[in-house]
Amino acid sequence: MLEKNNARLINAWASFDWANSVYNLIVTTAIFPIYYLGTTQEAFGGEMVEFFNMSIKNSVLSSFAISFSFLVIVFLSPILSGIADYGGLKKQFMQFFTYLGSLACIGLYFFTGENVEYGIACSVTASIGFAGSLVFYNGFLPEVATKDKMDSVSARGFAMGYIGSVILLIINLVLYQKYEAFGFENGSSATRFGFILVGVWWLGFAQIAFFYLKDSNSRKSITYKILGNGTKELKKVWEVVKDKKVMKRFLYSFFLFSMGVQTVMLLAPLFADKEIGMGADEMIYIVLILQILAIGGAFFFAWLSKLRGNGFAISTTLLIWIFVCISGYFMHDKISFYSLAAFLGFVMGGIQSISRSTYSKLIPAQAKDTASYFSFYDITEKLAIVIGSLSYGFIDQITGSMRYSMVFMSLFFITGFVMLQRANLKKNLV
């Protein structure tokens, strides 16, 4: 049994954000999208690439690959979370997905553009590892903190993730810009070496959390009969959700605005490249702005939540997100985009942190199957990402412009805001 509110345990739990967030920033958001667009365009002589003998736009292929990776987790999560709760194996599943993702990330070193199928396979596998580990990592939050501490603990995790990501991103940026000084043949070689650094960082620092976090003692042997236990557990969670009106409406709202949040975050670098005309260095600076301001955003909205309640804090972030999406349509110059990125970074940290802690507070105090509850939460988020990224890619494909996709994202935030008001979250969730 873990000791709740133990400072050392909380820091160890939050260190997992420090470990795995470098993947989400550097591979998913910053360097890999830039590297992927550049190398595939050079290898195929334009935006259109050949993927298993099918001609497709490189940015569309990227958004579809993201959708596929999260769809895999949607199907795996119910099975694995049920086994984890039944057999007391949350930490072991965290370890499995961490090793899978980090090794796949290291494998990106061998992606050079023309082998696009290999690059997509590695990026999808790494994404599965990242998303899969988060299901079980989040499931530990109710075990390490009491409800009155969850907002600040969740914020600490995200803040540590942002800080660690910024440090490694700066290292990668220096390697890229000064590649000759470090013995690399060109900037591309330095970028590929950066993927190794991400995988090693992810794998190495994750050991801190693995050392301190403990699985429950009520371990039961795993048999074929319990492979369907996860689905049964999710049905039990849904029965609880249906009876808790606030929880149900919050999840509806979370599903709607997550379509926009995750999609905009994942595809913002592609937008900066395609629509604003930013170079590789400039896009990395944009990501640095996002991460640094996200640290302040995570703590600010945790403070705002304590002052005015979770519902008010999330509603405030959603209004800013709506402004960001609509403004993105009109952005053409780089200076304006930098300003917009500042707003985006600030609410990015806030909405992720407060959403996680709000859901944790809504889980019944007597619940023991926290992995199943967070599997339900994770499936909600991943389905939202699948729909959001597919919508983004589809609109980009038929219109030829990401600007229309950005405006479309605002609809997800608007409907999520309306549903959140119906949830009527109170200041002190019980």
What pLDDT score does 219 carry? 55
pLDDT exceeds cutoff 60 at 393: yes
- Say what the alpha-carbon torsion angle 293, 298, 301, 307 is, to the nearest 10 degrees: -130
- Averaged over 284-297, what is the pLDDT? 79
- Averaged over 378-391, what is the pLDDT? 80
Q: How confident is the model at residue 217 (pLDDT cuts 50, 70, 90)?
A: low
Report which of residues 350 and 103 the model is more confident about. Answer: 103
- Which pLDDT tens digit goes with each residue over 84-121? 666 677 888 899 999 999 999 999 999 999 999 999 99
- Which pLDDT tens digit goes with each residue over 140-172? 888 888 878 888 888 888 888 888 988 998 898
**Candidate from 82-86, 214-218, 278-282, 399-403 with smallest mean pLDDT:** 82-86
Task: Name the domain count of the chain.
Answer: 1
What pLDDT score does 107 carry? 96
What pLDDT score does 223 carry? 56
Closest CA to 427 of 304, 307, 309: 309
pLDDT exceeds cutoff 90 at 425: no
Structure-block tokens of residue 333: 């110059």
How far apart CA 102 and CA 24 sit, in angstroms, is 11
Q: Could you tell me which residues come within 8 angstroms of residue 295 by beta carbon, excluding any fewer than 6 positions away?
A: 159, 162, 163, 349
What pLDDT score does 279 carry? 72
- Averaged over 353-364, what is the pLDDT? 85
Report which of residues 49 and 220 the model is more confident about. Answer: 49
27 domain-assigned = yes
Structure-block tokens of residue 190: 């330095």
pLDDT exceeds cutoff 70 at 252: yes
pLDDT exceeds cutoff 90 at 126: yes
- Averaged over 269-293, what is the pLDDT? 75
Q: How confident is the model at residue 330 (pLDDT cuts 50, 70, 90)?
A: confident
- Name the pTM for this structure: 0.76
User: Strand locations in 271-359, DSSP E?
Assistant: none
133-150: buried (b, 16+ CB within 10 Å) or exposed (e) per residue?
bbbbbbbbbbbbbebebb
| Cα dihedral across residues 334, 340, 346, 351: positive or negative | negative
- Domain containing 166 equals 7-213+236-423
353 domain-assigned = yes
229 domain-assigned = no
- Which pLDDT tens digit goes with each residue over 5-23? 888 999 999 999 999 989 9
How far apart CA 200 and CA 205 sit, in angstroms, is 8
Q: How confident is the model at residue 428 (pLDDT cuts 50, 70, 90)?
A: very low
Q: How confident is the model at residue 244 (pLDDT cuts 50, 70, 90)?
A: confident
- Which pLDDT tens digit goes with each residue over 37-67? 889 999 999 889 999 889 988 877 887 887 7
What pLDDT score does 121 carry? 94
Q: 116-122: which pairs have CB atoms within 8 A and are 24 or more residues apart?
A: 116/40, 116/43, 116/44, 116/49, 116/50, 116/51, 116/61, 117/51, 117/52, 119/36, 120/51, 120/61, 120/65
pLDDT exceeds cutoff 60 at 74: yes
What pLDDT score does 151 carry? 80
Average pLDDT, the chain: 83
Contact 392, 407 (CB under 8 A): no
What pLDDT score does 4 carry? 84
What pLDDT score does 420 carry? 92
390 domain-assigned = yes
Give the domain CATH number at 406: 1.20.1250.20
Contact 286, 269 (CB under 8 A): yes
Contact 409, 72 (CB under 8 A): no
**Candidate from 284-288, 349-353, 389-393 with smallest mean pLDDT:** 389-393
Report which of residues 277 and 251 the model is more confident about. Answer: 251
What pLDDT score does 17 carry? 92
What pLDDT score does 96 carry? 93
